[in-house]
Structure 1
Amino acid sequence: MQTVSSAFDAAYWQGRYATAGRDTWSVGRITPPLQAYLDQLGVGPQPRILIPGAGRGYEAEYLHQRGFRHVMVADFAPEPLAELADRVPGFPPENLWQADFFQLAPTEPFDLLIEQTFFCALPPALRPAYAQQCAALLRPGGKLAGLLFDTPFAGATEPPFGGSREEYRAYFEPYFAFIHFDTAYNSLPARAGRELFICLQKL
């Protein structure tokens, strides 16, 4: 099974989170496109939701505040998970997973995976494996929803890594039907026109 590159292991991410100015991808709150999507979800029956590579977990915090109780958060580094636990004391500690996404094998599949800056944090060579693992973690008909950078980051040697919708489509087509796959209309100003909002349904 694939695993995250040793060049960007837990120690690498712990260092980035712990160093001021090294987590510039984080905006300190849930982003408008994901908030708008999550606002459409009903809370009953409770869906099983996974947020992989969740970082500081603002999406998990938002879902928890809205009454969702089966939200699992996975991240390689302990620091952002500890911050989420401190920031949201009521969040179930058993739902905070310090783990390699590619090694996850829960006993129950998920209804929804939320993507927010995890895909762009992976070495591009792992993108096909990411799509495959997302499909493996979802129940039939389950969804993968979130944001991808629809812009190249020329010369990037460390995350975030960019790309194009044409490239991404090839990774997901073997496993998913495309419900929505277009430029986000409500991105933050600094990201306007450079984000692709996706909602994909497992075949």
Structure 2
Amino acid sequence: MKQQFNAAYWEHRYQLNQTGWDAGDVTTPLKEYFDQVTNMDIRILIPGSGNGYEAEYLFRQGFRHVFLVDVAEAPLQNFAKRVPGIPKEQLLQQDFFSLKGKYDLIVEQTFFCAIDPAQRAEYAYQCAALLHKGGKLMGLLFDTEFTQEGPPFGGNREEYASYFKPYFHFLYFKTAYNSIQPRQERELFMLLQKI
């Protein structure tokens, strides 16, 4: 029987502390990108946000329209405890693929590699649907194959590009030069703009 990567699955992973993807802080490539963004009024979405260190960094820098979405309750509760000032309505416990609304920036950090690879084309479509025209999808993708059964699920830049090309201009899509140590030479940094 095929594993279902649903809310119960992810909630169980958090309860058992099986969160190997969790870096415990905003990673360098994302932090350095955020530090270049000057418009604090943009609406930012972080799908599969987990414990939301990226959102915490953004919020503490003055970005007030940061939205986290995750199917699991535990990481959103963890975030709310760490960042009590964020409005509760910006913590969305729901399936990313059913989400509505419009955003200026979507941040990808270990969500794409956590979903069933059969959903990758749908992920690209949903990102485009949630972005305003000219909005950006920014983040990191694993540019490697994993030997163990996922998640995480690996892949390569050619495969990934095929999902995004129908909806986005590629502003940057190269190996990240500033990945955290365990992920060096195995991540693509992407900056895509909705057509």
TM normalised by structure 2 equals 0.97
Unaligned runs of at least 5 residues, structure 2 = none
CA distance in structure 1 between the aligned counterparts of 2:83 and 2:29, rounded to whole angstroms: 22
1:61-85 alpha-carbon deviations (Å, 9 max, x no partner): 0000000011110000000000000
Pairing 1:47-62 to 2, within 5 Å after superposition: 47-62=42-57
Residue identity opposite 1:60 in structure 2: A
Q: Which residue of 2 aligns with 1:88?
A: 83
* Preserved CA contact (<8 Å) 1:184 1:193: yes
Query: Residue 17 in 1 paired to residue 9 in 2?
Result: no
Q: Which residue of 2 aligns with 1:79?
A: 74
Counterpart selection for 1:43 from 17, 23, 39: 39
Residue identity opposite 1:29 in structure 2: D
Counterpart selection for 1:146 from 136, 139, 148: 139
* Preserved CA contact (<8 Å) 1:43 1:67: no
C-alpha displacement of 1:154: 3.0
**Equivalent position SS for 1:120:** coil
1:84-133 alpha-carbon deviations (Å, 9 max, x no partner): 00011111111000010000112xx1100000000000000000000000
* Preserved CA contact (<8 Å) 1:50 1:112: yes
Q: Which residue of 2 aligns with 1:124?
A: 117
Counting aligned pairs with the same residue, the percent is 57
Pairing 1:188-199 to 2, within 5 Å after superposition: 188-199=180-191
Q: Which residue of 2 aligns with 1:27?
A: 23
TM normalised by structure 1 equals 0.93
1:11-62 alpha-carbon deviations (Å, 9 max, x no partner): 0000101113x10110100000000011101134x00110010000000000
Residue identity opposite 2:12 in structure 1: G
C-alpha displacement of 1:155: 4.6
**Equivalent position SS for 1:140:** strand
How much is the aligned-residue C-alpha RMSD, in angstroms?
1.1
Query: Residue 161 in 1 paired to residue 153 in 2?
Result: yes
CA distance in structure 2 between the aligned counterparts of 1:10 and 1:64, rounded to whole angstroms: 26
Query: Residue 187 in 1 paired to residue 182 in 2?
Result: no
The runs of at least 4 consecutive aligned structure 1 residues that moved more than 2 Å come to none
